[in-house]
Amino acid sequence: MSELKRAVEKLKRERNALILAHNYQLDEVQEVADYIGDSFYLSKVAANIDCDVIVFSGVRFMAETAKILSPDKTVLLPEIDAGCPLADTITVEDVRNLKHLHPGAPVVCYINSSSEVKAESDICCTSANAIKVVSSLPDRKVIFVPDENLGDYVAKQLPDKELVLWKGCCVTHAKVKPSAILEMRERYPEAKILVHPECEPAVVELADFAGSTSAIIQYAENSDANVFIIGTEVGVLCWLRNSRPEKQFFLLHPGLVCPNMKKTRLQSIYDALANNHYQIQVDEAIAAKAKHAISRMLEVV
């Protein structure tokens, strides 16, 4: 074990801290994490864990969600500018305008959104439960923000619903074009191609499976196939190569690297614990309303 890793473990014990890491985090971060998973799993963990300090190795909206669900704990985001460009595509005013244009339609917000947008929404969702969340609503017309590709994916699974979508997208997943799938099919005809529903619809249509990062991991771990092309952020490959060394995994596109998720290093985790930074705070009134949308999601699934 490296000196730095030992120091992190020591600080964790001293501060009664737990580290939550998204599947997209670097190997060196995943190695010291107590919980690793997709956005849905990590929100459930954040709502229920017993500790004084949560170090959230991910991006800001994830750390804010943890703080909203566990307001009495200190929640640290090790890299202050680890944001999410997708979450930044929509403001609370944009949501209010959509509600004005579609009176009575409930708002489902993807967890990749600001706390203010969550506070203005009826219910939250992640890529793991978006279909369940939308279908749990009695209304035919539903406003779904901000990821247009995920919304399109949900709409296709639920043809009885009318989804009003917002034009937000994940710049990392948007780099993948259908030609990438066609090329990989030719190079690896035996491979299963697994993509995230944040990819554009033409890509999802050509893939063998679409699901959240954890659903992709589970599919690959449990499948009889031996070769997989992974159409989501490269961090998922780190996990899969460790867990199934006998199988082969290739990235669908070399651009599938989220610069924000890669900001957090092992050193960032050490600095966060040593200096108690960067503490996440969410305005109380916003947090109360956002908590309602997040808790409603946790009750549905």
Q: How far is the CB of 276 from ligand 13P (least distance, A)?
A: 26
Q: How far apart are the first and last CA of the chain?
A: 39
Say how far apart CA 107 and CA 259 lie, in whole Å: 29
Q: How far is the CB of 112 from ligand 13P (least distance, A)?
A: 5
User: What burial class does residue 246 get, using C-beta atoms within 10 Å of its C-beta: 0-12 exposed, 13-18 middle, 19+ buried?
Assistant: exposed
Among residues 127, 149, 264, 268, the one that binds ligand 13P under rule CB under 6 A = 127
Q: How far is the CB of 202 from ligand 13P (least distance, A)?
A: 19
Site size with ligand 13P, rule: CB under 6 A: 11
- Which H or E run includes 12? helix 3-15
Q: Are 109 and 134 in contact (CB under 8 A)?
A: no
Among residues 30, 39, 89, 121, the one that binds ligand 13P under rule CB under 6 A = 39
294 is in an annotated binding site: no
Backbone angles phi, psi at 109, to 5 degrees: -115, 135
51 is in an annotated binding site: no
Which of the residues 70 through 109 are near ligand 13P (CB under 6 A)?
none
Q: How far is the CB of 188 from ligand 13P (least distance, A)?
A: 23
Which of the residues 189 through 208 are near ligand 13P (CB under 6 A)?
198
Between 82 and 287, whose beta carbon lies closer to ligand 13P? Answer: 82
Which of the residues 134 through 153 are near ligand 13P (CB under 6 A)?
none
Say how far apart CA 112 and CA 117 lie, in whole Å: 10
Strands 35-37 and 53-57, by their bridges, are unpaired
Among candidate residues 72, 54, 48, 46, the one with its CA nearest the CA of residue 18: 54
Among residues 128, 155, 193, 237, the one that binds ligand 13P under rule CB under 6 A = 128
Q: How far is the CB of 209 from ligand 13P (least distance, A)?
A: 13
54 is in an annotated binding site: no
Strand order in the sheet with 35-37: 35-37, 17-22, 53-57, 74-76
- Which H or E run includes 76? strand 74-76
Between 39 and 89, whose beta carbon lies closer to ligand 13P? Answer: 39
Question: Taking contact as CB under 6 A, which single stretch among the options 3-11, 75-83, 122-130, 222-230 is the one that binds ligand 13P?
Answer: 122-130
112 lies in the site for ligand 13P, by CB under 6 A: yes
Say how far apart CA 294 and CA 136 lie, in whole Å: 14
Which of the residues 230 through 269 are near ligand 13P (CB under 6 A)?
none
Say how far apart CA 2 and CA 227 lie, in whole Å: 33
Q: How far is the CB of 10 from ligand 13P (least distance, A)?
A: 30
Q: Are 124 and 80 in contact (CB under 8 A)?
A: no
**Which residues are documented as binding site for iminosuccinate?**
22, 39, 110-112, 127, 196-198, 213
**Which residues are documented as binding site?**
22, 39, 84, 110-112, 127, 170, 196-198, 213, 258
**Which residues are documented as binding site for [4Fe-4S] cluster?**
84, 170, 258
Q: Which residues bind ligand 13P (CB under 6 A)?
A: 38-40, 112, 126-128, 170, 198, 212-213
